[in-house]
Amino acid sequence: MLSLRFAIPTANTLTPPKTKPKPGLVVQTAWNQTDLFPSLPKRYDYKLQAATTDLSVAGDITAEEVVELPAELRRELMPKHVAVIMDGNGRWARQKGLATSAGHEAGVKALRELIELCCQWGIQVLTVFAFSYENWIRPKVEVDFLMSLFERALKSEVESFSRGGIRISVIGDSTKLPTSLQKLINEVEESTKHNSRLQLIVAVSYSGKYDVVQACRSIAEKAKDGQIQLDDINESLIEQELETNCTEHPYPDLLIRTSGELRVSNFLLWQLAYTELFFAQELWPDFRKDEFVDALSSYQQRQRRYGGRH
Amino acid sequence: MERIRERVIQIYGNLVSLLQKCIFCILSVGPIPNHIAFIMDGNRRFTKKCKLMEGAGHKIGFSALMSMLKYCYEFGVRYVTVYAFSIENFKRSPEEVQSLMDLMLEKIEEILKEQSIVNRYGVRVIFSGNLKLLSEPVRLAAERAMLATAKNSKAVLSICVAYTSTNEIMHAVQESCEEKWDEITLLNSSGAGYGLISLGGYEQDEMDHLIKLTDIEKHMYMAAAPDPDIIIRTSGETRLSNFLLWQSANCYLYSPSVLWPEIGFRQFLWAILNFQQIHFYLDKQRKQS
């Protein structure tokens, strides 16, 4: 049974038990608590912080919600938009002597944990590179498995996303996806479109270059129809036509790529203009809370100048 | 005494050169990158760190650039691109922008001289970017340099000035739209394009066929060079800062922590070794995309 839980693990004895989850959140105990959430490392000194006014703008959250941040992280420096390239499922499975499908399933678990952390820590948009346009050349067995994994995961999570205030958007060339998945995506996008706690953008069958090409085509279409003049074409017009126009913050502040590979692999090329890149050595299924905290703390220490002076 | 000292320095220099050549011979057994790009970050921090006069960091950075170019061309890298000045850098103080423009003018004149690296290695110089944003003297000097080196064909040096990748893509989109617009207008005027406008069903398909990835790519400022194999950004910052976003889709990103004026043979060697390690995998990815 795959389900997203928002309950704070009580198996950990380092911190006092939290306040009860707010009404409406169902606490699923289908999984053994200690399986999914490793015990918190002793080096972090967690402090309970009362929610401040910045959380009250989100639709679902009440003022009593307590959100803990590890000691290294500062709330005012949290990125608004985090993008992740979830690389390394296949390698992780090979290392453990499992089938590739087990690697992808483990990857989904890691993703669920990341979504929960983003919700708790006030990150507004999370974009994940689930399936690249170039991945279609992988063996048919693997591709079919991934498509069915997306369907299963979407079907089982849509309710918890609705309750958790998560809005789902899917970007990429959906014409190559199975029709049942396309229909499901439309339904999920429709049913979650009013949620505002976290926007989860899933890039499936996505290519950064084709994003720009399709933006160019729609601009050309508009120019042909006389809606715009060719001289009006500027950077913000292109930004409005890119597939990331489904969100208010299309430019990621931080891009995390796991498994130690040092490249972008055709993901969000235009949008990454001033994004801080963080390359993690761990394989995606091993990328958990500690590693995410490392990435965020590295981000918070960087000086972003956008071409100007210090 | 002075002459002996000079002689010793000369012998030492020759030995180092010989050693570098040997290392290059060994490395050329593996794949040689075709195109390396540099983001020359850290000049001002170097000035502060070494407590130098304002602008000294950039001058030392220029000599660091010359040595890196030498290593690249000696090793056999055909294309080198450098991020000299971003459109965003115009936001800096007018004095700094002016001093950078003056430095650029001075160095453009220098590289055109007889003994310069450009002539030694047969390098064709291209200035990529929105050159209309530059002041008149710099733009004219750049155009002169491009004309003077147009016949060189052994290697290419692309200097990105007044460049940002988003501006480059936007410009390419604009040009592609204009080109297709002209095509449609031409077809319409000759009567052959009637079906393109009037029949609603055909419109979308024809539009799809009209603008392709290759149309946009051929209008890029960087169209003369292939995609980079390695992008090296100094000073430890790991971001692209609007540089070659389109072209870096499958490129190895290397960010050593040294500042640009401090970069040397060691960092170059490390980048090449790492590149060779992942080359075969990247090549396969590129062929499939």
Mean pLDDT throughout A58-67?
A: 42
The closest CB to that of A263, out of B184, B242, B251, belongs to B251
User: Considering only CB atoms, which residues of chain A are within 8 Å of chain B?
Assistant: 133-134, 137, 207-210, 212-213, 215-217, 219-221, 223-224, 230, 233-235, 238, 261-266, 269-270, 272-279, 302, 306-310
The closest CB to that of B169, out of A137, A212, A224, belongs to A212
Long-range contacts of the stretch A215-219 (C-beta < 8 A, 24+): A215/A241, A215/A242, A215/A243, A215/B173, A216/A241, A216/B173, A216/B176, A216/B177, A216/B211, A216/B216, A217/B207, A217/B208, A217/B211, A219/B173, A219/B177
Kindly tell me the burial class for residue A64, based on how many C-beta atoms sit within 10 Å of its own C-beta (0-12, 13-18, 19 or more): exposed
Chain A positions touching B96 (Cβ under 8 A) are 309
Pairwise CA distance, residues A215 & A237, whole Å:
9
Beta bridge partners of A279: A257
| Confidence band for A310, pLDDT divided at 50, 70 and 90 | low
Segment A256-269, tens digit of pLDDT: 999 988 888 889 88
Shared domain for B147 and B100, answered yes or no, is: yes
Between 3.60.15.10, 3.40.1180.10, 3.40.50.620, 2.30.30.100, what CATH number should domain A75-207+251-301 receive?
Answer: 3.40.1180.10
Spatial contact of A51 and A69, defined as CB atoms under 8 Å apart: no
The SS3 of residue A32 is coil
* Most A-contacting residue of B96, B174, B254 (CB-CB within 10 A), to test interface: B174
pLDDT of residue B286: 63
Nearest-CA distance B117 → chain A (Å):
29
Domain enclosing residue B184, as ranges? 165-194+207-220
Shared domain for B55 and B183, answered yes or no, is: no
The closest CB to that of B170, out of A208, A234, A307, belongs to A234
Q: How distant, in Å, are the alpha carbons of A144, A293, B243 from that of A106?
A: 17, 20, 35
Spatial contact of B104 and B161, defined as CB atoms under 8 Å apart: yes
pLDDT of residue B282: 67
Shared domain for B55 and B106, answered yes or no, is: yes
CA-closest candidate to residue A200, choices A174, A176, A173, A171: A171
Asked if A235 and B282 come within 8 Å (Cβ–Cβ), the reply is no
Asked if B253 and A263 come within 8 Å (Cβ–Cβ), the reply is yes
pLDDT of residue A43: 38
pLDDT of residue B163: 93
Asked if B216 and A216 come within 8 Å (Cβ–Cβ), the reply is yes
Q: Which chain B residues in 116-175 lie under 8 Å from chain A, judged by CB atoms?
A: 164-167, 169-170, 173-174
pLDDT tops 50 at residue A53: no
Q: Is B73 a domain residue? A: yes
Number of CB pairs < 8 Å for A and B?
Answer: 131
Q: How distant, in Å, are the alpha carbons of A53, B52, B234, B261 from that of B43?
A: 41, 11, 10, 6
Nearest CA in chain B to A221: B207
Shared domain for B76 and B120, answered yes or no, is: yes
- Is B182 catalytic? The answer is no
pLDDT of residue A170: 93
Chain A positions touching B207 (Cβ under 8 A) are 217, 220-221, 224
Nearest-CA distance B11 → chain A (Å):
40
pLDDT of residue B58: 87
- Cβ-based neighbours of B186, under 8 Å, separated by 6 or more: B193
Mean pLDDT throughout A196-206?
A: 93
Mean pLDDT throughout A240-247?
A: 90
Beta bridge partners of A81: A125
Mean pLDDT throughout A54-72?
A: 50
Chain A positions touching B180 (Cβ under 8 A) are 220
Asked if A264 and B208 come within 8 Å (Cβ–Cβ), the reply is no
pLDDT tops 50 at residue A50: no
pLDDT tops 80 at residue A79: yes
Token pair belonging to A207: 């290519």
Q: Digits of tens for pLDDT over chain B (289 positions)?
A: 888 999 999 999 899 989 988 999 998 888 999 999 999 999 989 999 998 888 888 889 989 999 999 999 999 999 999 999 999 989 888 888 888 889 889 888 887 776 678 888 899 999 999 999 998 999 999 999 999 899 888 999 999 999 999 999 989 988 888 888 888 778 777 765 544 444 444 444 454 456 788 888 899 999 889 999 999 999 988 899 999 999 988 889 999 999 999 999 999 999 999 999 888 776 776 676 5
Nearest-CA distance B237 → chain A (Å):
8
- Cβ-based neighbours of B57, under 8 Å, separated by 6 or more: B42, B43, B44, B45, B46, B47, B50, B261
Shared domain for B152 and B175, answered yes or no, is: no
The closest CB to that of A266, out of B207, B250, B278, belongs to B250
| Confidence band for A166, pLDDT divided at 50, 70 and 90 | very high
Segment B148-159, tens digit of pLDDT: 899 888 999 999
pLDDT of residue A280: 92
Shared domain for B186 and B265, answered yes or no, is: no
Least confident stretch, A57-71, A91-105, A271-285:
A57-71
Shared domain for B34 and B173, answered yes or no, is: no
Nearest-CA distance A104 → chain B (Å):
20
The enclosing domain of B257 has a CATH number of: 3.40.1180.10
Shared domain for B104 and B244, answered yes or no, is: yes
Nearest-CA distance B232 → chain A (Å):
11
Nearest CA in chain B to A132: B289
Q: Residue B242 carries which DSSP code? A: T
The closest CB to that of B254, out of A219, A262, A308, belongs to A262
* Most B-contacting residue of A134, A222, A262, A309 (CB-CB within 10 A), to test interface: A262
The closest CB to that of B177, out of A212, A230, A277, belongs to A230
pLDDT of residue A96: 93
Least confident stretch, A41-50, A103-112, A282-291, B252-261:
A41-50
Segment A211-227, tens digit of pLDDT: 998 998 888 888 888 88
Chain B positions touching A277 (Cβ under 8 A) are 238-240, 253
Split into its structural domains, chain B has a count of 2
Chain B positions touching A234 (Cβ under 8 A) are 170
Q: Is B279 a domain residue? A: yes
Shared domain for B36 and B132, answered yes or no, is: yes
